[in-house]
Amino acid sequence: MSLLIVLAALSGAMAVGAGAFGAHGAQGDAAEWLKTGAQYQLAHALAALLAVQFDARGPAWLFVAGGLIFAGTLYLMALGLPRWLGAITPIGGTLLIGGWLWLAWVALRG
């Protein structure tokens, strides 16, 4: 099993845990940050696994890395770390968008 598949699977597990905590153990902004992070991270963990199946490892790496940065900064803020971490969140989002664009390019190239 490849490292990429392992990381995508762990990313999915992290997303489920964060989403559950957001739904049952957090309130206010923290709950919203956890839910948003979990939604994006889980979607992109699945996208990474699918991309690997189509031999598109580059986009898959961007999905895993972008999901971790995007969701990870939201999770950290939800746990009480400084809000300036929110300035890093768009870097993760940019990686996610890049992954989708790269995947489209791979598909067009056949």
CA atoms of 18 and 37, how far apart (whole Å): 8
Q: Where are the domains of the chain?
A: 3-109
Residue 71's pLDDT band (cuts 50, 70, 90)? very high
98, 69 in Cβ contact below 8 A? Answer: no
Average pLDDT, the chain: 96
Model confidence over 8-46: pLDDT tens digits?
Answer: 999 999 999 999 999 999 999 999 999 999 999 999 999
* Tokens 């803020």 -> residue: 77
Q: Show the tokens assigned to 75.
A: 């999770």
CA atoms of 14 and 37, how far apart (whole Å): 10
User: Is the pLDDT at 99 greater than 80, yes or no?
Assistant: yes
Note the maximum CA span of the chain.
46
- Entry pTM: 0.95
Q: CA Rg, the chain, in Å?
A: 14
pLDDT reported for residue 1 = 63
* Tokens 């890093």 -> residue: 88
Query: How far is CA 11 from its chain centroid?
Result: 7
pLDDT reported for residue 61 = 98
